[in-house]
Every structure is written in C-alpha cells, then in structure tokens.
Amino acid sequence: MASRNIPLIRTVEDLEKARERFREKYYSVKRYISVCGGTGCRGGGCLAVAEEIKNVIKEAGLEKELPVRLTGCHGFCERGPLVVVYPQKIFYQKVKPVHARKIVLRSAAQGEVIEELLYENPEEAKKVVQEEEVPFYKHQMRLIFGMNGMIDPENIEDYIALGGYSALRKALFEMQPEQIIEEVKKSGLRGRGGAGFPTGRKWESVRRAKSRDGIKYVICNADEGDPGAFMDRSLIEGNPHSVLEGMIIGAYAMGAHQGYVYIRREYPLALKMLTRAIQQAREYGFLGGNILGSGFSFDIGINRGGGAFVCGESSALMASMEGKVGEPRPKYVHMSEKGLWERPTCLNNVETWANVPLIINKGADWYASIGTEKSKGTKIFSLVGKVNNTGLIEVPMGITLRQVIYDIGGGIKGGRKFKAVQTGGPSGGVIPESLLDLPVDFDRLTEVGSMMGSGGMIVMDDRTCMVDVARYFVNFLTEESCGKCVPCREGVRRMKEIIDRIAEGKGKRGDLELLEEMGRAIADGSLCGLGQSAPNPVLSSIKYFREEWEAHIKKRKCPAGVCKELITYSIDPEKCTGCMACIKPCPQQCITGERKKPHVLDASKCIKCGACFDICKYDAVVRQ
Amino acid sequence: MKMVSEATSGNGQQVCLCEKVEEILDRYNRDVSQLISILQDIQEEFRYLPKEALEKVSEALSVPMAQVYAVATFFKAFSLKPKGRHVFQVCMGTACHVRGAPLILEKLERELGLKNGETSKDLAYTLESVNCVGACALGPVVVVNGEIEGHCSQSKVDALLRKVKGQSS
C-alpha cells in the first residue's frame, strides 16, 4: 500500500522545493487550454471535446507548447461544454468536437478570437471575450470556487504549484492548536451545511471533550441531499485537496488522528476524484504518520452513503457509519462529546472545510471583512430553475436576491415573470418578489421563513404552481422521513394527504388553517432537524401565496397551469398555423387537423401529458 | 419477514456468488463500518442483494441478520429484487421538478410500460426516480445506465429509448 511507502514530501523544505519544481513544470508554459470536466459539462459531451482538442494538438505537434487541462466545474453549466484559452482567458461556450481545430490552431496558437463560440450578453447583444467579463462571473467573488477552473483535480502537483498545502504548513509549524481554533472563531465562519452553527465553537467543544481512550474523529459531510444543490459535489470533483487540507488542519487543532468523508452514492465522479486525492495526499506525505515532519499523524477514510436524505443529519450519519440504520438520536449529549463510536466527533460540511485553508492563509480579520455582521465570507449557491444563467455561483454573504437572480442569473427564462425563489431545500421555504431586496445571509433567510440550507436557489416563474412545489417537498419528506418519531412520520404524511386533495381540486374550507396548525406541531414535536424544518416549504408558501392556495380550494383552478386535475389543454385557433407538429407526439391521438388549418384537441381523450405543449413553436397549445 | 431472492441466471451465477461476496468482504477488511459500501458493491455486482449474500455478510461481520436486513431495506441504494440491464433514473430534484420532470417520468412509464420503481419481467429495463443527481443546471435530467442526459423533452426521451433499445437488440 502506498501509505507504507516513504512519502515524497517529508519536511517543510521538501514542500517548498516541490512547489518550485511543480510551478516550473506546469506554469512555465503560460499558454494552455482548460476544458471544464464537471458533471454538467460531461453531460454535454466535454470529454469528446477534450479528446478532439488533444488529437488536434498532437497532429500539429504542439504537445509541449500547449498543454490541455481537464479541470473541475467552472460553474456556468448552462453554457457547457466550456473551454478557456489561457493566458488571455478567452472564454468559449457550447463547444463541440468540431470546434477543436479552430480553438487549437487559430485561437490558442495564434491568439485569434473565435467569434461564434463567444458568450453574447443578451442585454447589450454584445459578444464577450474574457471569462471575467461575462456577467455571470463578473458579479461573483470566487474565493473557494475560483481554483476549480484552473487545476486538474486528478493531480496533486497542480494544487501544490498554486499554493496548496501552504495553510497546512502554517498551521502545523507556526500555530498552536488553540490559536487555530481562535482564528476560526474570530473569522466568524459558520457551518455551510445549512444550520449555520459557528465552526470555531464546534471545534473548541471537540478539542475540550474528554475521550475515554483519547480517540477523536473529524468527518466531512459530503452527503449533499438537498435536491437542487450541487456545490459540494463540484468542490470535491474540482478541488478535492482544498477539502482535505481543511480537514487535516481541523484534525490537528482538535487532536484527532482519524477522519472520514461520508459521500453520496449518487456522485460517482466525486467519489473517484476523492479516492484519488486521498491516495495522492498519502503518497506525497500530507496524510499518514508524521506529516511534513511535524510529529502529527492523521489519515482519512471514505464512507459511501446509501441514499437517505436523513443521513445528512449528524447523528443519523454517524449511525450509518457504524453499519446501522441511519436514524437520528436525541442530542442531549452532543456529537462533539459522544459521536462516532461514542467518541468526540466534529462533523463539518464540504464547503466549510474548504473555507479553512483560506482563513489560515489570509487571516481571520481579512475573512471577517467579507459578508454581513453575523454571516462572514462567501457562499456557493446553485442557481437553477427558470433562470437564464443556471450554474454554480459564489457570492459574498449579504448580496441581495435581486442581484443574484438578475445580475448574475440574467433574469427569468423566456422573459417570463418572476414568482418566487426557493432556498434551503426541503427544510427551507419560498421567498416572493416583495422580498427580492433581502440580503442573503443565515439570519435574514430564517427570519422570512426560509433558510440558507446547503445553498440551493431554485428560481420559479409564473408557470410554477406554489401548491405543486409544496406538494413536491412534502412528498419528498414523506419518503425520506426515517420513521423514528411520530410527529414527522405521521404528521408530514397527513399534510401530504391534505395537499394532495387541494391539488386535485377537492380542497375544503379550513384546510389551510389545519395545515398551519399541523406545521407548528410538527416543528415543535419532531426529534431531528428534518422534522423540525419539514413544514417550512408549506408554511412559507401559504404565508406568501395564500391567494394561489385559495384559488385551488375555492375556484378549483390552478392559475399556473400545473396541477393536472385542475387544468385542460386546448388549441388556440388564432395562433395555430396548422403545422401538424403536435399530431404525431400525442400518445392518445386526440389532436386532429389538416395542414395549414387550425387543429382541434379532443379534451375528453387527453391525458395531459404535455407533449403537444412541449413541441408547439407558436404557443398555440393552451394550458389553463 | 419476507425475503425475496431469485437467482438472476442459472447455476453458474450461484456458484460464484460465494466467492464474489468473499472478495467484496475482503476488499473492506470485513469492517462493519463499511457495511453500506459492502452492500453497495454486492448490489453493483448482482444488480440486487441476493438473500444468500446478505446471510454471508451477516456471518462474516458478526452482525445480526436483522441489522443487515434493516440496513438493506432502509437505504434507497439497495434492492432485494434484481434490477434490469438498462436502468432509467429520472431525476426528481427541485430544479428538474419545476422544469417538468414529472411529465418526463410519466412519458417513460407509458413508453416502457412500467410504473416508477418497477423492472420489466425480462429484466431488460428498470425505471426509477432519484431525488437529485446534482446536475441541476441541465434539468430535466434522466440518467440512463449511469450517463447523464440533460435538457430532456418528450421527443428527447423518444430518441433515448431508440438508442437504448438499439443497444439491447
């Protein structure tokens, strides 16, 4: 096993010499092509693009002068596959293998800009050349996420060349454990997994906690279960060493010698990158015995999750790591006292760990200068749903929702009307237009009935039904409730039954009041965070969109045209051009008509599958 | 407690089941904290968790069968029935949901003649929904045999089905 071999880097001097060497090796050539290898771009075919670029380079005999890096996620998934030509940082989007020749021979080799692949700023109808100038990037502050687009996540040398593991060096040789904890406390860093617990305080309790045999654990929570959030996945895929470095520093500060990463099974690429990163960290001497000659020993293992949302909760996560069913327990005794195998345990989220090297390197004062009074630093959000520029963004805490959705996100898709933004996943809530100027931080989001969560921001337009969204979350929570405590198991199910009825047009007077009452009871009576926050999506929706709920109950109508039982499809004869495109996809053969004459839809046979609505280019299919 | 265990193929499979499970157990040093990983590897190997394999795991890790069964039925990753050779996973994350994932799932249900969570009798296809695959910017997303297909529309589903059916014939 690699860990038994003598590591390549054994002292601080080794590290700095190696850094020089790797800098020379990778960055003496300033010209290179970076291809985004994140999951989004892979879904768009970036691997074929990278392959073709390499082929062209080989053919042209440019292998030495023009390296290609398959990097982590650049964030702008909507426009993938993405390619950036360095050093000019020419930003190409929606690249296909056929473009490889132009990019290599004309753009990278001769500095030419390929117009057709540039991003066009829709507001000014102007092409943008450089990555930083694209509005999507321009308004961001990419402290944690920025390196993703530069380094090859499969190569630890790349990370070292760009300054990686220098925070570890500082922590091990220039700081006492207590000083590190003090620094983290002073920085104001709060847990990025959702609840926002002060990280430094958690570390302090673990450091002070007594363990019967001296064993303590640190764990990285990579069981990113919030639907609609994928920043943790992208960090592990794109820059796994930043997470490992944070964990090693934390372990040293708390006196732990064993760490684990609990990672979701739905993320095969992240698992691969993480496994490789841990292996390399061992080979190079950042994990194992006597790290960098400091006398401190620490290693990290991997635990794969089994696909249960509740396992993002600390005690459930640790139960499942012990080979048990992932059920939470009451926390009269905190995990920092008795966690995994009854030993003091510190569990932090991926993004939290990735913040640590930055705080150590640049200092708590610098870090605390970013953000709001009680929420410091930046936060990565996944900006998705009905917004033009979807992807991952990193912004300083305190930015307003309007800035996020309009300046970075480029507004609502298809020029439609903004309706709400959902944050915090199944524990969070919906936020209406009247609150768009709300500064985004932990406390402000909680105040309005939502929460930060792990950072999903799902934008909704006037075609999203708020009853349907609430129904979606309650469905999700009914499935994911572990079943241990009654308020959550039974209460959420009853809420689901009521909402199902409302969505089917069988709502009754008093339903909303009942939902509100139940919601309060479930929040009060549930054992863990899942149940305590489960009513949020429903309560916030009723609070801000009561009219829409009442339309379902009183008028038996779904104004957004989503709830199946309350809508009908028809064809607007004014708009129908008679193109016949909708006739074939209809599985019920309920659309009839001749070419160039308005078609007719027989609503009695229609199963409301939406195939005609999808295909019609003239908005002639009406759903109401 | 009802256990479903059907042999996926003839005797050949049965003979190597023991060896395979042993090999997987060794991969994790028979460590009980790796129970989920062990079961995942078994699931990957056989496309389900055969009863015999669970018994073997219980014995090797000195963990009661009840606990192994509890874990095997608690987590979504596991199935006590064999899954199909081609697995369609429709992402039901919030971002996919608001962009029309439920209609995509219904379309696949119609076309494959399966309900969500079912496997066809000939073990060719499994249709299931997953809570979020983290490719939210590409929604609606369908994962076909591990490959992510983004921006799914009804007509794209038709094309996907043609492609997969072409592979299996």
Residues belonging to chain B: 169
CA of B25 vs chain A CAs: smallest distance (Å)? 14
pLDDT digits (tens, 9 = 90+) for A493-511: 999 999 999 999 999 999 9
In this complex, do B136 and A324 lie within 8 Å of one another by their Cβ atoms?
A: no
Nearest to A614 among B40, B70, B154 (CB): B154
pLDDT at B97: 92
CA of B115 vs chain A CAs: smallest distance (Å)? 15
pLDDT digits (tens, 9 = 90+) for A172-192: 999 999 999 999 999 999 999
Nearest to B37 among A226, A303, A615 (CB): A303
In this complex, do B61 and A265 lie within 8 Å of one another by their Cβ atoms?
A: no
Specify the 3-state DSSP secondary structure of A144.
coil
Ranges A238-242, A298-302, A404-408, A580-584: which has the least confidence? A580-584
Which residue in chain A has the smallest CA separation from B109? A609
pLDDT digits (tens, 9 = 90+) for A389-402: 999 999 999 999 99
In this complex, do B71 and A323 lie within 8 Å of one another by their Cβ atoms?
A: yes
Report the alpha-carbon distance of residue A599 to residue A578 in Å, rounded.
Answer: 6
In this complex, do B74 and A321 lie within 8 Å of one another by their Cβ atoms?
A: no
Q: Which residues of A touch B67 (CB under 8 A)?
A: 323-325
Torsions phi, psi of A382, nearest 5? -100, 115
Helices (H) and strands (E) counted in chain A, each on its own, are 26, 19
Residue type, A140: Q
What tokens does A477 get? Answer: 């929570």
How large is the angle between the packed helices A240-254 and A166-174, nearest 10 degrees? Answer: 10
pLDDT digits (tens, 9 = 90+) for A43-80: 889 999 999 999 999 999 998 889 999 999 999 998 98
Which residue in chain B has the smallest CA separation from A465? B98
pLDDT at B13: 53
| A68-71/A32-36 β-pairing | parallel
In this complex, do A228 and B131 lie within 8 Å of one another by their Cβ atoms?
A: no
pLDDT at A614: 86
CA of B9 vs chain A CAs: smallest distance (Å)? 26
Per-residue pLDDT of chain B (169 residues; tens, 9 = 90+): 333 344 444 344 555 788 899 999 999 999 999 999 999 999 999 999 999 999 999 999 999 999 999 999 999 889 999 999 999 999 999 999 988 999 999 999 999 999 999 999 999 999 999 988 888 888 899 999 988 999 999 889 999 999 998 876 5
Q: Most B CBs within 10 Å: which of A457, A458, A621, as the mutation test of the B interface?
A: A458
pLDDT at A472: 95
Closest CA to A97 of A164, A35, A29, A51: A51
Q: Which residues of B touch A225 (CB under 8 A)?
A: 131-132
> 3-state SS of chain B?
CCCCCCCCCCHHHHHHHHHHHHHHHHHCCCCHHHHHHHHHHHHHHHCCCCHHHHHHHHHHHCCCHHHHHHHHHHCCCCCCCCCCCEEEEEECCHHHHHCCHHHHHHHHHHHHCCCCCCECCCCCEEEEEECCCCCHHHCCCEEECCEEECCCCHHHHHHHHHHHHHHHC
In this complex, do A323 and B36 lie within 8 Å of one another by their Cβ atoms?
A: yes
pLDDT at B165: 87
Q: How confident is the model at residue A565 (pLDDT cuts 50, 70, 90)?
A: very high
In this complex, do B134 and A229 lie within 8 Å of one another by their Cβ atoms?
A: yes
Which residue in chain B has the smallest CA separation from A266? B133
Nearest to B94 among A40, A422, A611 (CB): A422
The residue behind tokens 């009942």 is: A514
Nearest to B33 among A39, A322, A384 (CB): A322
Burial tier of B148 (Cβ tally within 10 Å: 0-12, 13-18, 19+): buried
The enclosing H or E element of A69 equals: strand A68-71
Sign of the alpha-carbon torsion through B112, B117, B121, B126: positive
**Percent over 90 (pLDDT), chain A:** 88
pLDDT at A243: 98
CA of A428 vs chain B CAs: smallest distance (Å)? 12
pLDDT at B169: 56
CA of A369 vs chain B CAs: smallest distance (Å)? 31
In this complex, do B107 and A611 lie within 8 Å of one another by their Cβ atoms?
A: yes
pLDDT digits (tens, 9 = 90+) for A440-476: 999 999 999 999 988 999 999 999 999 999 999 999 9
In this complex, do B77 and A265 lie within 8 Å of one another by their Cβ atoms?
A: yes
CA of A175 vs chain B CAs: smallest distance (Å)? 34
On average, the pLDDT of chain A sits at: 94
Mean pLDDT of A115-144: 90
**Residues facing residue B144 across a β-bridge:** B88, B147
In this complex, do A306 and B103 lie within 8 Å of one another by their Cβ atoms?
A: no
pLDDT at A489: 96
Nearest to A323 among B63, B94, B100 (CB): B63
**Residues facing residue A69 across a β-bridge:** A34
For residue A127, give every residue at least 6 positions away whose Cβ sits within 8 Å of its Cβ, in sequence order, or none.
A115, A118, A119, A120, A121
Looking at the predicted structure, is the pLDDT value of residue A1 above 70? no
Torsions phi, psi of A112, nearest 5? -75, 155
Question: A-B interface: how many C-beta pairs under 8 angstroms?
Answer: 164
CA of A609 vs chain B CAs: smallest distance (Å)? 6
**Do A530 and A480 form a contact (C-beta atoms < 8 A)?**
yes
Nearest to B76 among A230, A307, A615 (CB): A307
Which residue in chain B has the smallest CA separation from A78? B137
Q: Most B CBs within 10 Å: which of A614, A616, A623, as the mutation test of the B interface?
A: A614
Closest CA to A217 of A177, A261, A181, A185: A261
Mean pLDDT of A549-565: 95
In this complex, do B103 and A609 lie within 8 Å of one another by their Cβ atoms?
A: yes
Q: Most A CBs within 10 Å: which of B94, B112, B130, as the mutation test of the A interface?
A: B94
**Percent over 70 (pLDDT), chain A:** 99
Report the alpha-carbon distance of residue A87 to residue B12 in Å, rounded.
Answer: 58
pTM of the model: 0.93
| A378-385/A456-461 β-pairing | parallel
pLDDT at B8: 46
How large is the angle between the packed helices A240-254 and A199-208, nearest 10 degrees? Answer: 40
Give me the helices (H) in A258-349, please. 268-284, 314-321
Ranges A5-9, A13-17, A20-24: which has the least confidence? A5-9
Q: Which residues of A touch B94 (CB under 8 A)?
A: 227-228, 384-385, 422, 425, 456, 458, 469, 472-473
Report the alpha-carbon distance of residue A558 to residue A505 in Å, rounded.
Answer: 9
Q: Which residues of A touch B159 (CB under 8 A)?
A: none
Q: Which residues of A touch B149 (CB under 8 A)?
A: 43
Global ipTM:
0.88
What tokens does A548 get? Answer: 């829409």
> 3-state SS of A570-602?
EECCCCCCCCCCCCCCCCCCCEECCCCCCCEEC
pLDDT at B76: 87
pLDDT digits (tens, 9 = 90+) for A362-411: 999 999 999 999 999 999 999 999 999 999 999 999 999 999 999 999 99
